[in-house]
Chains A and B, each alone.
Chain A
Amino acid sequence: MAETTANSDAASSEPAQKRGFVQSLEIDIRLLGMIAAFIVICVVFNLLTGGRFLTPRNIFNLTIQTVSVAIMATGMVFIIVTRHIDLSVGALLATCSAIMAMMQTAWIPQFFGLEIGHPMIPWITIIIGIAIGTLLGSFQGWLVGYLAIPAFIVTLGGLLVWRNVGWYITNGQTIGPLDETFRAFGGISGTLGAQWSWIVGALLAAGALYALMAARRAKLAHQFPVKPMWAEALVALFAVGGILGFIAILNSYQVPERVLQRQFAARGEEVPEGFTAAYGLPISVLLLIAIAVIMTVVAKKTRLGRYIFATGGNPDAAELSGINTRMLTVKVFAIMGALVAISAVVASARLANHSNDIGTLDELRVIAAAVIGGTALAGGVGTIYGAILGALIMQSLQSGMAMVGVDAPFQNMVVGAVLVLAVLIDTIYRKRTGDR
């Protein structure tokens, strides 16, 4: 007893000078592992496809295909961290999508008398859609938190219910075309263009630098040890380089000539000689970035986030500390519902219409993304950036295999195997490092 105390104290009070390269950077090793896995996947597929995988066009497509699942995965982190599960997200997405499709094409024009194409329609649709998603999420959270029905059962029921509520609302029909402004949230039909992309990129880079500086200043103010300046600079360099590099890649994806011709023809003009335009940052990706930042702040810097992780770590301790864990469950599921509704906007806008099978199997992709991203099903552990990276890894695998020409059944087999393998590696890693 006394020995172990002495040992552990000695280990922790060891002077900070003898730290390794990675420790000095103070970066999550799990994050480094995921980034490495992602890079390996990209490089391998790039070789297999003869350089077609890492083109600006494919990277652009990859990001917009990832957004919907990634947005939901950030919410799933909170759900799994609090030791719950949500199997209903794909089905709930279909219900939200169906409601929003019907609102903009039928209900608002019929009952509010706004003509199709009225500029208010997409915004009313989105606000009501998110409100409904939040409400349905809270309802499931209430069933779990207050009525103590296991989340697995509530959301398994929800999977059947919401899938078919969506079907009932639309009579199983495909609803479209969706409003043009609404479709701008889908990806390729709503991008910022080169100039605005650079502006946003610069703002993001400045924000990242400020966050790093503020963290260092807070530590210095209380005379806590800080990492060496070179490590700080290296992290900053990677952050800024990553952000601006990403923008540069998206900006180098040129709008094809015939698309430009169509755009100009619609205005009755000719395409000027030598005119080119870049797509730049899609609005949907900007939306994902905003959600990622907000969710990270919630997780790390708010009481709500602290209670979510405390409850996941030890529900009894959380309850005894005066945290209302039942209400917390409702809040976590409400956040999930809101994010599902936002994903519904992105997913249906990307397809330009609502189809009956939208979001099918998304629950599994979302859970897999969160788990590959290091969220522990035992609760208490998980990160937002991990879940987004997990979604990106899954999507890269899937599109990469499609590009290489792997048959569809094999694609899903590989993705399934990768999920199991990722958890195995994580389990071994945790055992080695003595983490829980």
Chain B
Amino acid sequence: MAVAETLESPKPVDRSGTPLVDLRDISIAFGGIKAVNQVSVDLYPGEVVGLLGHNGAGKSTLIKCLSGAYHKDAGEIYINGEQATINNPRDARRYNIETIYQTLALADNLDAASNLFLGRELTNLAGLVDDAAMEAETRKIMGRLNPNFKKFSAPVSALSGGQRQSVAIARAVYFNAKILIMDEPTAALGPQETQMVADLIDELKRQGLGIFLIDHDVHQVKNLCDRAAVMKNGELVGVVDVDAVSVDDILAMIIAGKRPEHLS
């Protein structure tokens, strides 16, 4: 992966202020199985926190409590130091939380512009949907994010995985997300498009967004993230600074569920 060479190391994250997101003791169970058990993670502005773990470790479930897709059983969510009530995706949007899902959350039968503005359509004076204006805005932002993107009138089902992912990312970027959740954003992408996403994450960091990045790829997490939170069987193994640990340390956390010895 070409990410490592090009990524300049940005200035260290300032963690002295209030965290952008503070998840405290979140628990959620499905039919008696504790998918997430008393997990606490925080996220500061301009920081990328990677969430790691096996399939079924509970990382996606945890993050869906923040994005409003799931309803937590217990625990509190603080946004900018204030307790937040997030019961559905609409609530999450009010807190400027945007999510890019692993299963791309796009309506396949609609075109890129309709998907980008889904739920927040631009309207003209008569209150009717202004397709031309939305397409123009879409062309502008796609020109910045993915200049190769040309299929503006085709339904997104006709697009490649990378093109679809760029539509999803464009949606988050366009609406000035403060908190971005990315669930394996590069899983379906080729090397070039992965690089594009990496550059984009770097850019968003600089703009002061906080990003939760769920990923399986330990190398990627080490390259893109500031901290890594590792989960196993619904419990938090630990949150570590990626510069203080090796790839093997992180792997040990994922597999054995133990914090590295030099940190504990």
Using known A-B contacts A8-B160, A302-B128, A322-B93, determine if residue A310 contacts B154 with beta carbons closer than 8 Å.
no
Task: List A contacts of B109 (CB < 8 A).
Answer: 309-310, 312-314, 380-381, 436
| In the complex, chain A residues whose CB is within 8 Å of the CB of B114 | 306, 310
The answer to whether the Cβ of B123 comes within 8 Å of any Cβ in the partner chain is yes
Most buried by A among B103, B118, B148, B160: B118
Task: Mark interface residues in A373-399 (1 if CB within 8 Å of B CB, else 0).
Answer: 000000011000000000000000000
Contact indicator A317/B118 (Cβ below 8 Å) = yes
Q: Does A27 contact B (CB under 8 A)?
A: no
Judged by a CB distance under 8 angstroms, whether B133 is at the interface is yes
Report the separation of the CA atoms of residues A9 and B103 in the bound assembly, to the nearest whole angstrom: 23
A320 touches B99 (CB 8 A): yes
Q: Is B105 in contact with chain A by the CB < 8 A criterion?
A: yes
- Give the chain B neighbours of A305 by CB distance below 8 A: 129
What distance in Å separates the Cβ of A18 from its nearest Cβ neighbour in chain B?
16
Q: Counting chain A CB atoms within 10 Å of each CB, which of B104, B120, B132 scores highest? A: B132
B150–A297 CB distance below 8 A:
no
Q: Is there contact, CB below 8 Å, between B132 and A436?
A: no
Contact among B69, B135, B155, B193 with A224 in the assembled complex (CB-CB below 8 Å):
B135
A-contact 0/1 string along B87-120, CB 8 Å cutoff: 0111001000001010111111110001100111
Give the shortest distance, in Å, between A49 (CB) and chain B (any CB).
41
Distance, CA A51 to CA B133, complexed state (A): 51
Whether A222 and B110, one on each chain, are in contact in the complex, defined by CB atoms closer than 8 angstroms, is no
Contact: B108 with A436, CB < 8 Å? yes
User: What residues on A are CB-neighbors of B104 within 8 Å?
Assistant: 317
* A contact patch SS: helix
Contact of A222 among B89, B132, B155, B159 (CB under 8 A): B132
B121: Cβ under 8 A from any A Cβ: yes
Judge if B27 is at the interface, Cβ distance under 8 Å: no
How near does chain A come to B137, taking the closest CB pair, in angstroms? 10
Contacts of A306 in B (CB 8 A): 110, 114, 118, 121, 129
The distance in angstroms between the C-alpha atoms of A322 and B90, with both chains bound, is 4
Among A8, A300, A310, which residue has its beta carbon within 8 angstroms of that of B159?
A8
CB-defined contacts of B19 to chain A, threshold 8 Å? none
Within the complex, the shortest CB–CB distance from A146 to chain B, in Å, comes to: 14
Contact yes or no, A320 B132, CB < 8 A = no
Q: Is the CB of A8 within 8 A of B110?
A: no
Given known A-B contacts A222-B136, A322-B93, A1 and B150 have beta carbons under 8 A apart: no
Instruction: Identify 5 residue pairs between A and B in the complex whose beta-carbon atoms are under 8 Å apart, listed by A's number.
Output: A9-B151, A218-B131, A317-B115, A320-B89, A320-B99
Given contacts A312-B109, A320-B89, 13 further A-B contacts (CB under 8 A): A2-B191, A4-B160, A5-B162, A297-B128, A300-B129, A301-B129, A302-B127, A317-B106, A320-B101, A321-B119, A322-B90, A380-B107, A380-B109
B positions within 8 Å CB-CB of A: 67, 69, 88-90, 93, 99, 101, 103-110, 114-115, 118-121, 123, 127-129, 131-133, 135-136, 148-151, 154-155, 157-163, 189-193
Residues of A within 8 A of B (CB): 1-2, 4-5, 8-9, 12-13, 218-219, 221-222, 224, 297, 300-303, 305-307, 309-314, 316-324, 380-381, 434, 436
